[in-house]
Amino acid sequence: MRIFFKTSKIFPLLFGVTACVTAAGDANLPLFKSYSNKNSQRVASDYHAQGTDGMVVAAHPLATAAGVAMLEKGGNAIDAAVAASFVISVVRPQSTGLGGGGFLLYHDKEQKRQRIFDFRERAPIKASSSMFIDEQGNYKKIMFNGQLVKDPAIVGHLSVAVPGLVKGLVETHRELGKLDLRIVIAPAIEIAAKGFPVYLALAREIKDREQWLRLYPGSRKVFFLDGKPLEAGQTLVQDDLAKTLQLIAAHGHRDFYEGDTSRKLIAEIKRGNGLIDATDLRGYRVIERVPVSGYYRGHRVVSMPPPSSGGVHIIEMLNMLEQNDLSKLHPRGATYLHYLTEVMRRAFADRAKEMGDPDFVDVPVHRLTSKAYAQKVSASIDPERATPSSSIGLSAPTGESPSTTHISVMDRWGNAAATTQTVNYSFGSCVVAEGTGVVLNDEMDDFTTKPGGSNAFGLVTGTKNNIAPKKTPLSSMSPTMVLNKEGRVELILGSPGGPRIITAVLQAIVNVIDFKMELLDAVHATRVHHQWMPDTLRFEDGAFDNDSKKRLVDMGHKLSPIESVGDVQAIQREQSGLMHGVSDVRSDGKPGTPAHVKELK
């Protein structure tokens, strides 16, 4: 199919008449190039499922299976999402866990409304904006067992923020779930107690973080065997975690925040001079927030508001993109990729300047998501030239880790859940609280930990995101839904990947709506990423051919390869009611649909 033409009528709208010429070289490109997962033996159909009785898509087959089992027992989207969440905590300890936090977007089919549950980690009461730096403005020297902890905001006890995942899942389930909590947590308990085979990506992450996991006795106990990091094919058994989960099944979140588990968590934090105490745990609150929403070519897009930057910038970028008829452009052509990059650059500059916890700082959500603003900002896009990032914006963005995980669920009634959860970097702080099996997060690093300094990704951070007691660090997590004109959910999606969450979700939406790709292609197609600073266009292998590459370089883009942009887990519901689940080929996920559904009275 030749979807491109030389004398585009659309560019004069935004770019003026000179822009028409830039489209010429895109005509001969194949429609898109699938991303290929070089590490996997799986084939495309392993990443796709379809059915009408519900769908669960998660980044590990055991988590998907747990969610599907809940749907088969007559449970709803929340039962499935919560069951899958507890299992993913067990099988992806590098990404998420009971010691982490997250967001859940829920669509209530009956009431036709969406709700957001924010159970992200919060700064301890004793935290302060200078807690990581000494008088000279350098990172403090923190020692543990005679070893220097080089990056105290990323590794070790000081990096831990008050975890919210357990309270978030239990409270959301209590309000919206149908099944007994004990049934919902049972799969996670069983997998933690019996163990599961370590897969390649997990083995690689353990090896990557070996130095720090080895330092902390609780972590050594879980992730090492006979003094060596666990390898692929060996079994990861987590007895202590199974017991902690049993207490949650029996008592809800009480024991975790006020009982025996909480005392063990605090004892661990004290061992490494961290800040969290009993008051922090007891006082943790889940916050219900109003979703952020906008319209894109007639579809309603609903997503995560601040303290995530994700939803605002997805809508802001869609508003900018909407000014052109992208369906006339080639998804791998230089014209589209230049435009997409310029849009990303501008949104991420705003992220740096404007974003933080809305309970502490003023975040201009309405302005950033308005059509008028998008028009004004995108007027500065030059169709021929990349705009140097240094000429846009005032400060710089925060960056997050490539860890994190996302689960999408739809039940047969049309209720939907999208939840993104994290411990931040791989294995969070790398500290497992002794006697609990709980991997503690390092979410404090999502704050500005050193004014004017850079984080582990070489990114400089902004002031609205300074640390304060009880404040929530800025996130990029973007559980998102797209609804049709009748208010039915037609797309559910999200991703891990720090700032790349935002651009991965954006590109998947554009692939579906503008390029009319089937969901499998929309998720698997190559992606690019720009986050304003550093001023680099990151691209996956195959994102463009040599001609397009040359044109992008000629326009002034600084290109740099990247292994992958995000790991999208998505569901699409056709008008007929048929649901498609797609896991991203970039990771180890799997979609699943119920075989038999039991009717609940």
- Minimum CB separation from ligand GLY for residue 476, in Å? 4
Which CB atom, from 238 or from 405, has the smaller least distance to ligand GLY? Answer: 405
Strands 287-289 vs 235-236: parallel, antiparallel or unpaired:
unpaired
The binder of ligand GLY chosen from 95, 261, 323, 476 (CB under 6 A): 476
C-alpha angle 10-487-84 in degrees, rounded to nearest 5:
105
Q: In what order do the strands lie in the sheet with 559-561?
A: 528-529, 537-539, 559-561
Element (H, E) at 229: strand 228-229
The binder of ligand GLY chosen from 121, 171, 205, 446 (CB under 6 A): 446
Residue of 64, 172, 335, 404 marked active site: 404
- Minimum CB separation from ligand GLY for residue 293, in Å? 20
- Minimum CB separation from ligand GLY for residue 389, in Å? 21
What is the 8-class DSSP label of residue 409?
E
Which CB atom, from 397 or from 591, has the smaller least distance to ligand GLY? Answer: 397
Task: Considering only the stretches 397-405, 429-437, 545-553, 577-585, report the one whose residues sit in contact with ligand GLY under the rule CB under 6 A.
Answer: 397-405
- Minimum CB separation from ligand GLY for residue 51, in Å? 31
- Minimum CB separation from ligand GLY for residue 558, in Å? 24
Strands 196-197 vs 224-225: parallel, antiparallel or unpaired:
unpaired
Which CB atom, from 323 or from 422, has the smaller least distance to ligand GLY? Answer: 422
Rg (CA), the chain: 23
Q: Are 517 and 34 in contact (CB under 8 A)?
A: no
CA-CA-CA-CA torsion sign (88, 92, 98, 101): negative
Identify residues 195-214 at the interface with ligand GLY (CB under 6 A): none
In angstroms, the CA 357 to CA 29 distance is 43
The binder of ligand GLY chosen from 303, 369, 389, 422 (CB under 6 A): 422
In angstroms, the CA 289 to CA 596 distance is 35
Which CB atom, from 477 or from 506, has the smaller least distance to ligand GLY? Answer: 477
Which CB atom, from 422 or from 449, has the smaller least distance to ligand GLY? Answer: 422
Which CB atom, from 434 or from 442, has the smaller least distance to ligand GLY? Answer: 442
Q: Which DSSP string corresponds to 539-596?
A: E-TTSS-HHHHHHHHHTT--EEE-S-S---EEEEE-TTS-EEEEE-TTTT-EEE--SS
Those residues with Cβ within 8 angstroms of residue 465's Cβ, 6 or more apart along the chain or in another chain:
355, 356, 357, 398, 446, 447, 448, 473, 474
Task: Considering only the stretches 60-68, 146-154, 470-478, 592-600, report the one whose residues sit in contact with ligand GLY under the rule CB under 6 A.
Answer: 470-478
Specify burial of residue 24 (Cβ count, 10 A radius: 0-12, 13-18, 19+). Answer: middle
Task: Considering only the stretches 133-141, 318-326, 399-407, 518-526, report the one whose residues sit in contact with ligand GLY under the rule CB under 6 A.
Answer: 399-407
Identify residues 262-321 at the interface with ligand GLY (CB under 6 A): none
**What stretches of 127-259 show up as alpha helix (H) in DSSP?**
165-176, 181-194, 200-208, 210-215, 217-223, 239-251, 254-258
Which CB atom, from 208 or from 518, has the smaller least distance to ligand GLY? Answer: 208
In angstroms, the CA 445 to CA 30 distance is 41
Those residues with Cβ within 8 angstroms of residue 335's Cβ, 6 or more apart along the chain or in another chain:
11, 22, 23, 26, 329
For residues 335 to 374, the per-residue mask of contacts with ligand GLY, x marking binding by CB under 6 A and - elsewhere, is ----------------------------------------
Residue 485, SS3 per DSSP: coil
- Minimum CB separation from ligand GLY for residue 400, in Å? 3
In angstroms, the CA 31 to CA 514 distance is 13
- Minimum CB separation from ligand GLY for residue 308, in Å? 7
The binder of ligand GLY chosen from 76, 261, 395, 404 (CB under 6 A): 404
Task: Considering only the stretches 46-54, 159-167, 338-346, 396-404, report the one whose residues sit in contact with ligand GLY under the rule CB under 6 A.
Answer: 396-404
Which CB atom, from 185 or from 438, has the smaller least distance to ligand GLY? Answer: 438
The binder of ligand GLY chosen from 424, 461, 511, 564 (CB under 6 A): 424
Task: Considering only the stretches 285-293, 312-320, 472-480, 538-546, report the one whose residues sit in contact with ligand GLY under the rule CB under 6 A.
Answer: 472-480
Count residues binding ligand GLY (CB under 6 A): 10
Task: Considering only the stretches 60-68, 218-226, 327-335, 473-481, report the one whose residues sit in contact with ligand GLY under the rule CB under 6 A.
Answer: 473-481
Q: Hunting for tokens 């990861």 — which residue is that?
A: 236
Identify residues 482-541 at the interface with ligand GLY (CB under 6 A): 498
475 binds ligand GLY (CB under 6 A): yes
219 binds ligand GLY (CB under 6 A): no
- Minimum CB separation from ligand GLY for residue 153, in Å? 12
- Minimum CB separation from ligand GLY for residue 133, in Å? 21
477 binds ligand GLY (CB under 6 A): yes
Which CB atom, from 201 or from 423, has the smaller least distance to ligand GLY? Answer: 423
The binder of ligand GLY chosen from 400, 514, 535, 540 (CB under 6 A): 400
Task: Considering only the stretches 254-262, 398-406, 464-472, 583-591, report the one whose residues sit in contact with ligand GLY under the rule CB under 6 A.
Answer: 398-406
Annotation says 404 is catalytic: yes
Task: Considering only the stretches 109-117, 129-137, 209-217, 475-483, report the one whose residues sit in contact with ligand GLY under the rule CB under 6 A.
Answer: 475-483
Which CB atom, from 420 or from 507, has the smaller least distance to ligand GLY? Answer: 420
What is the token pair recorded at 480?
């998102």
Q: Are 81 and 71 in contact (CB under 8 A)?
A: no
What is the token pair recorded at 329?
């452009």
419 binds ligand GLY (CB under 6 A): no
In angstroms, the CA 68 to CA 60 distance is 13
What is the token pair recorded at 190?
């069983």
* Number of alpha carbons in the 13 Å side-chain half-sphere of residue 22: 29
Residue 586: Cβ within 10 Å count: 27
What is the 8-class DSSP label of residue 56?
E
Footprint of ligand GLY on this chain (CB under 6 A)? 400-401, 404, 422, 424, 446, 475-477, 498
Which residue numbers are catalytic? 404
